[in-house]
């Protein structure tokens, strides 16, 4: 059992697979298979002892060598070389020149780069406005969409020009962008809702079998719902058209309130942006005052640091002189270290020669055993073996099993089984052809039904569109009072910011 259970092939193949059915494969590999493989050498020794005991043989127990402690081979640190003292005293440094005042002033190149940057931004805005106004004649926009697109482009340009003027207040910029794009998208959705749905519904689409069946089921369900509605009306039920009209009006009012709320949020974001710019200008003035104070403190600290460096140089010179006096016997120490190293080298050479001799003896013993094994294998291979075996195909194997048959009888039964399988395949093929023809006929009927329903729905949609055009009115809602108040506040903050910038 131990030979079977601790076999590498069995552990890594089907034993591992059977355990993995009940536990995780990673858990089995790490906690079961790997420990068993590590214990295999000790178990192999145990198996050999048991076999020797069964065969009444005496086993020689190998005693492990006792570990002999050795002293640590510590390396002696090398003495560090001391630089010789300078013969001459330290030279007197000339008096340092004061820092020029131009260091604390901003360079002219930075101002020139800022002016070029502002000019490039203004030039790009002019080019973009000119490209949007002077469009190509081959890509003209329809009159009903031109006004809406101009409003969208102008809103985006104004928002980006206001945001790119300053490099601060990132939080207010993100909030302002969200409000602007939300208002632009709502306006664009309103324009899409106003367009007739026929432009989207009348696109020709190639239908496959699944699409035809789905559309046929949809129209059939709509037909059943319409019949059910007519039956309910005949029985005295009410018409929900008035409720739907009221619901549509209420949704329109809710949409207007949402648009007014979005505009208020946009203006609030713009107002908070103007307030943030004013706060930034105040912070810059305070920072300039703090910078002047820091420059004065820095000059005092530099003076103290220079005095401290001179004092440290004097102390270092005195320390070097003291160290040179304490290292006069360095040559004697070097000679002792050299003798100790020579003794260590001689001892290592003797030990390496003994190890080399033992290795040669082990190699000769190994080669002798290998030669004997090769001779045994060649002797086994030289024995002749019977290569031919005569078989009678009409006789059974004689194993004593139920239903035992000869090879000839097995071939005949396989031939009969193939013929029966071929007949079943032909019958299945005919059945599939009949089902396919019935399915094609069903799809053709569904297509005729779909075309009739589409024609009727198209006529109903045209009538509904005409009625909708007649009932539409072009009134526009008045602006909210909150929006007007916010616009006034924004104008006041903008004027205050420009005055503050002029003072700076």
pLDDT of 47-81, one tens digit each? 888 888 777 755 555 667 788 888 888 888 787 77
> Is the model more confident about 127 or about 474?
127
Distance CA(383)–CA(274), nearest Å, equals 106
Q: Which long-range contacts (CB under 8 A, 24 or more apart) does 89-93 make?
A: 90/313, 90/317
pLDDT of 72-87, one tens digit each? 888 887 877 777 766 6
pLDDT-derived band at 415, boundaries 50, 70, 90? very high
Distance CA(443)–CA(207), nearest Å, equals 11
Q: What is the pLDDT of residue 309?
A: 82
Please say whether the beta carbons of 59 and 48 come within 8 A: yes
pLDDT of 165-189, one tens digit each? 444 344 444 444 555 555 555 555 5
What percent of the chain lies above the pLDDT cut of 90?
5
Six-digit token string for 214: 């789905």
Q: What is the pLDDT of residue 141?
A: 46
The DSSP code for 412 is: H
Q: Provide the mean pLDDT of the chain.
A: 75
The DSSP code for 105 is: S
Please state the rounded mean pLDDT for residues 10-24.
Answer: 80
Cβ neighbours of 45 (radius 10 Å): 13
Any idea which of 63-72, 239-248, 489-498 has the lowest mean pLDDT? 239-248
Q: What is the pLDDT of residue 503?
A: 67
Please state the rounded mean pLDDT for residues 247-252.
Answer: 82
pLDDT of 438 over the 80 cut: yes
> Is the model more confident about 465 or about 117?
117
The DSSP code for 195 is: S
pLDDT of 418 over the 90 cut: yes
Any idea which of 67-81, 381-395, 490-504 has the lowest mean pLDDT? 381-395
pLDDT-derived band at 476, boundaries 50, 70, 90? very low
3-class state of residue 503 by DSSP: helix
Six-digit token string for 345: 């080298």
Q: What is the pLDDT of residue 470?
A: 74
pLDDT of 226-235, one tens digit each? 788 777 777 7
Distance CA(163)–CA(174), nearest Å, equals 10
Count how many Cα atoms sit within 13 Å of the Cα of residue 9 in the half-sphere of its side chain: 2
3-state SS, 229-281, equals HHHHHHCCCCCCHHHHHHHHHHHHHHHHHHHHHHHHHHHHHHHHHHHHHHHHH
């Amino acid at each position: 059992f131990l030979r079977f259970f601790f076999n590498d092939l069995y552990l890594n193949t089907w034993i591992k697979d059977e355990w993995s059915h009940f536990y995780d494969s990673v858990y089995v590999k790490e906690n079961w298979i790997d420990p068993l493989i590590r214990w295999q050498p000790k178990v192999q020794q145990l198996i050999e002892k048991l076999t020797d005991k069964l065969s009444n043989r005496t086993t020689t127990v190998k005693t492990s060598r006792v570990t002999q402690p050795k002293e640590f081979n510590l390396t002696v640190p090398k003495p560090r070389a001391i630089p010789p003292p300078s013969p001459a005293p330290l030279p007197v440094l000339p008096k340092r020149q004061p820092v020029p005042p131009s260091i604390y002033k901003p360079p002219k190149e930075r101002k020139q780069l800022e002016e070029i940057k502002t000019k490039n931004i203004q030039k790009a805005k002019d080019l973009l406005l000119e490209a949007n106004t002077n469009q190509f004649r081959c890509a003209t926009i329809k009159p009903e969409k031109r006004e809406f697109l101009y409003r969208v482009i102008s809103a985006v340009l104004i928002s980006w020009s206001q945001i790119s003027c300053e490099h601060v207040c990132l939080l207010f910029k993100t909030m302002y962008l969200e409000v602007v794009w939300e208002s632009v998208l709502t306006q664009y959705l309103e324009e899409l809702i106003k367009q007739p749905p026929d432009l989207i519904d009348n696109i020709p689409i190639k239908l496959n079998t699944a699409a035809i069946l789905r559309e046929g089921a949809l129209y059939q369900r709509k037909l059943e719902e319409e019949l059910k509605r007519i039956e309910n009306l005949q029985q005295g039920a009410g018409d929900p058209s008035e409720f739907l009209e009221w619901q549509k009006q209420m949704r329109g009012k809710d949409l207007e309130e949402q648009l007014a709320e979005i505009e208020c949020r946009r203006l609030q974001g713009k107002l908070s942006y103007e307030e943030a710019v004013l706060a930034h200008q105040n912070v810059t003035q305070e920072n300039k005052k703090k910078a002047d104070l820091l420059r004065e403190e820095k000059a005092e600290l530099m003076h103290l640091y220079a005095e401290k460096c001179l004092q440290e140089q004097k102390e270092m010179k005195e320390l070097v002189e003291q160290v040179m006096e304490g290292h006069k016997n360095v040559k004697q120490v070097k000679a002792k270290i050299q003798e100790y190293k020579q003794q260590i080298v001689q001892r290592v050479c003797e030990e390496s020669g003994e190890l080399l001799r033992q290795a040669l003896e082990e190699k000769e013993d190994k080669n002798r055993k290998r030669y004997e094994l090769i001779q045994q294998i060649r002797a086994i291979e030289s024995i002749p073996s019977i290569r031919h075996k005569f078989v009678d195909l009409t006789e059974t194997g004689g194993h004593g099993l139920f239903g035992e048959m000869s090879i000839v009888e097995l071939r005949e039964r396989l031939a009969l089984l193939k013929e029966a399988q071929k007949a079943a395949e032909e019958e299945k093929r005919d059945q599939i052809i009949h089902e396919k023809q019935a399915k094609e006929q069903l799809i053709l009927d569904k297509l005729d039904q779909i075309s009739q329903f589409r024609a009727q729905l198209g006529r109903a949609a045209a009538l509904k569109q005409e009625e909708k055009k007649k009932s539409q009115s072009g009134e526009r809602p008045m602006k909210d009072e909150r929006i007007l108040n916010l616009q006034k506040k924004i104008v006041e903050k903008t004027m205050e910011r420009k005055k503050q910038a002029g003072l700076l």
